[in-house]
Chain A
Amino acid sequence: AQRVTQPEKLLSVFKGAPVELKCNYSYSGSPELFWYVQYSRQRLQLLLRHISRESIKGFTADLNKGETSFHLKKPFAQEEDSAMYYCALTPHSGGYQKVTFGTGTKLQVIP
């Protein structure tokens, strides 16, 4: 079974401070991991995916298979980063792939 755990419901940091949003997963095979973001009054949108190894808006995330983690990091938080962040997982294979979302972490950047 697939499972995604985001242990923090709320994370408050000061502007300019480093940010780390935690995500741990449980899946026996090879997963594909994503981070989605939902800004206030906007729709959920893809922030980044591990296979592309991109840095979006200064955010990065590295898949650590040993620790089964996919933490989202940013060295210096900005006020516009305040949003709801969801970690998600899907099997890395063809055919139907159910996406499992974590419960989300609300990031609050304090000016």
Chain B
Amino acid sequence: NAGVMQNPRHLVRRRGQEARLRCSPMKGHSHVYWYRQLPEEGLKFMVYLQKENIIDESGMPKERFSAEFPKEGPSILRIQQVVRGDSAAYFCASSPGLGLAGSNEQFFGPGTRLTVL
């Protein structure tokens, strides 16, 4: 099992461009989480998705940010019209999501470091 994959590992964008971050969960995992880590800060929850459904997007900015987890393919975090303040590390995690107590371990990807010039 290759673990959670994220690409690209590093992404540079100019202000106003779009950023697309991809996350492939571990095999057999149907739950995906996105987190943002600003420099010198902790992880901040953004969004939680299951296949084809957004379950909780309470941590996601209302504008410019969107996420999806299609039936086929990776989960995508999309940031439109990026600004310098979007520069951060974006981490994806997956879990089996069996819905049982004790099954909440999240397995993290290596992150995508977004730099906005």
Interface residues of A (CB under 8 A from B): 6, 32, 34, 36, 42-46, 49, 51, 86, 90, 92-104
Contact = CB atoms under 8 A, between A and B. Distances in A.
A101 B43 contact: yes
B25 to A, nearest CB: 14
B91 A44 contact: yes
B99 A44 contact: no
B47 to A, nearest CB: 11
Nearest to B33: A99
Interface stretch (B10-18, B71-79, B80-88, B101-109): B101-109
A98 B93 CA distance: 12
B45 A51 contact: no
Contacts, number: 59
A97 B106 CA distance: 11
B108 A43 contact: yes
B42 interface: yes
B102 A51 contact: yes
Contact of A103 (B42, B102, B111): B42
Given A86-B42, A96-B56, A104-B43, A43 B111 contact: yes
B109 A103 contact: no
B105 A34 contact: yes
B99 A49 contact: no
A66 B92 CA distance: 33
Given A43-B110, A94-B99, A95-B99, A100 B105 contact: no
B101 A49 contact: no
A49 B42 contact: no
B117 interface: no
B49 to A, nearest CB: 11
Nearest to A6: B42
Contacts of A42: 110
Interface in B34-90: 35, 41-45, 48, 55-56
A98 B102 contact: no
Contacts of B45: 98-101
A103 B35 CA distance: 12
Nearest to A41: B110
- Which of B4, B48, B102, B109 has the most CB atoms of chain A within a 10 A radius of its CB? B102
